[in-house]
Structure 1
Amino acid sequence: MHSPSYITRRHQLQAYFDRTASETWARLTSDAPVSRIRATVREGRAQMRATILSWLPADMTGLTLLDAGCGTGALSVEAARRGARVVAIDVADSLVSVARERLPADVDPALVDFRTGDMLDQGLGRFDYVVAMDSLIHYRAGDMASALAALASRTERAVISTFAPRTPALSMMHAAGKLFPRSDRSPAIEPVSETTLQRLFAAEPAAAGWRPGRTRRIARGFYTSQALELVPA
């Protein structure tokens, strides 16, 4: 059962992307010119996506992947190119629509099932891998840990998620709200330390039998995020 704070933040994110920033994020995730600040976010996200993909098998034929918070679908596309059967889900229908439109001709559309909805919906089924890239960073640490445990309970091989590491510089920047102009600023990112996130995750009953794996921090200008792999013990 989702906590009230998780539900509230999910609705805020849906409203932000669908009503306020769909065009901004469609542009950010394209090749269109952007400001210097947004260019560093674009570059950082590309590095993070490459890191996550390097932790997935090169040949994913016959494997399933949940792209939890797929955005405009870049990671889903690369996983499908490796042969994975992907369920790509996001709370924002505007982003899912862009992802559908951007599906390249060399990717079999039967391999990518784009959906609008809640990444924690149990009806999505079980998967070999789950990736939640920069989709849980707006949630409170407790809600993030609960979400990761819920995802792990339906995953066979690995859950790979990102979080905003609690560093003095990042905390100050987020507190000041300088990442984007006020007109299209997203709901606040919630920095958390790696030790705190791992402790909260380990305390979740659904996380029993799981442990942390690899981790890597990407810092590029105004983008700072850390990937964390969770694997069966």
Structure 2
Amino acid sequence: MNTIDDKIVVKEYFNATGFDRWRRIYGDGEVNKVQLDIRTGHQQTVDTVLSWLEADGNLSGLSICDAGCGVGSLSIPLAKSGAKVFGSDISEKMVEEAKDRAKESLGNVDNLTFAAQDLEGLSGKYNTVICLDVLIHYPQDKAAQMIAHLASLAESRLILSFAPKTLCYSLLKKVGEFFPGPSKATRAYLHREADIIKILEDNGFSIQRNAMTSTRFYFSRLLEATRQ
């Protein structure tokens, strides 16, 4: 499967079967044990990013692009803290859900905008660009191109999360492939941390903070990089 096919599969998945599954995971309703574990892990990653930005003490008024925003799990609390947020996602259904959740949580605000758009189509300049749990859909040969594009949008900082390619996680991925199920219809790509850091450095960024979220079924390496 080539990259274009991957993108089409991801878009169709998150506008159909995947939308229903991940809307439940990213919500607060009843889910099964695996989905609850993933919900917990994802929220830990979101909370870590929020804690980093809040610790800097300048979140109010900061321009942020939440690339691959899903249902707004990060965009909404960022906007609530006063940041000017643009959230995008490849899935139209995810974006509509994010808009509904934002309206319910924030009402009508002018510092939060959502759009259905893939990463390659993003434009503009932002103080901070954040891309969480999206690299898992990109094969290694396209990750550098995608990260470089996101870096070109970031005036000061780029925050990425990815599933790290280690022996342990590679084995877990192999085991998971034996049980695909109807709701796991996209490929999952792991990435070596050294490769991601090299890509960031090649685009003029250096690592400032890092974290690791690891639960039974969710694992994500988080890197904050700033312009040198």
| Residue 34 (structure 1) aligns with | 31
Partner of 1:214: 209
Instruction: Tell me the alpha carbon deviations over residues 74-114 of structure 1, each in whole angstroms, 9 at most, x when there is no partner.
Output: 10001101111111100001111111111134355311111
Aligned equivalents of 1:196, 1:20: Cα separation in 2 = 32
- Secondary structure, aligned partner of 2:106: coil
Q: Tell me: CA distance 1:25–1:179, structure 2 relative to 1, closer, same or farther (3 Å).
A: farther
Quote the residue 2:130 is aligned against: 131
Which structure 2 segments of 5+ residues have no match? Answer: none
Quote the Cα distance in structure 2 between the aligned partners of 1:214 and 1:231.
10
CA–CA distance in 2 between the matches of 1:145 and 1:12? 20
Report what 1:183 is aligned to.
182
Give the structure 2 partner of residue 151 of structure 1. 150
Give the letter aligned to residue 77 of structure 1. Answer: I
Q: 1:50 aligns with which of 47, 50, 67?
A: 47
Name the amino acid aligned to 1:119. L
Deviations 1:9-31 (A, max 9, x none): 22221011112211111111111
Q: Distance in 1 between matches of 2:108 and 2:225?
A: 29
CA distance in 2, matches of 1:190, 1:147: 14
Root-mean-square deviation (Å): 2.0
Deviation per CA, 1:16-75: give whole Å up to 9, x if none: 111221111111111111111111101000100011112214442222110100000010
User: Match of 2:226, as an amino acid?
Assistant: V
SS at match of 1:190: coil
Contact kept? 2:61, 2:83, Cα under 8 Å: yes
- Is the partner of 1:161 in helix, strand or coil? strand
Match of 1:16 in 2: 13
How far, CA to CA, are the matches of 1:6 and 1:44 in structure 2? Answer: 27
Q: 1:146–1:201: 8 Å Cα contact kept in structure 2? A: no
CA-CA distance at 1:150 after TM superposition: 1.3
| Alpha carbons of structure 1 residues 174 and 121: separation in structure 2 relative to 1, 3 Å | same
Shift of 1:194: 0.7
Q: Match of 2:117?
A: 117
Residue aligning to 1:225 = 220
Task: In structure 1, give the amino acid aligned to 2:71.
Answer: T
2:70 is aligned with 1:71: yes
| Cα distance, 1:75–1:110 mapped onto 2, change above 3 Å | same
Q: Given that residues 148 and 199 in structure 2 are in contact (C-alpha distance below 8 angstroms), is that contact kept between their aligned partners in structure 1?
A: no
Unaligned runs of 5+ residues in structure 1 are none
- Contact (CA 8 Å) 2:147, 2:199: kept in 1 or not? no
Partner amino acid, structure 2, of 1:163: F
| TM-score (normalizing by structure 2) | 0.91
CA distance in 2, matches of 1:213, 1:59: 17
Paired residues, number: 225
Aligned match of 1:93:
92
Q: Which runs of 4+ in 1 moved over 4 A?
A: 178-181
Equivalent residue, structure 2, for 1:102: 101
| TM-score, normalised with respect to structure 1 | 0.89
SS at match of 1:21: helix
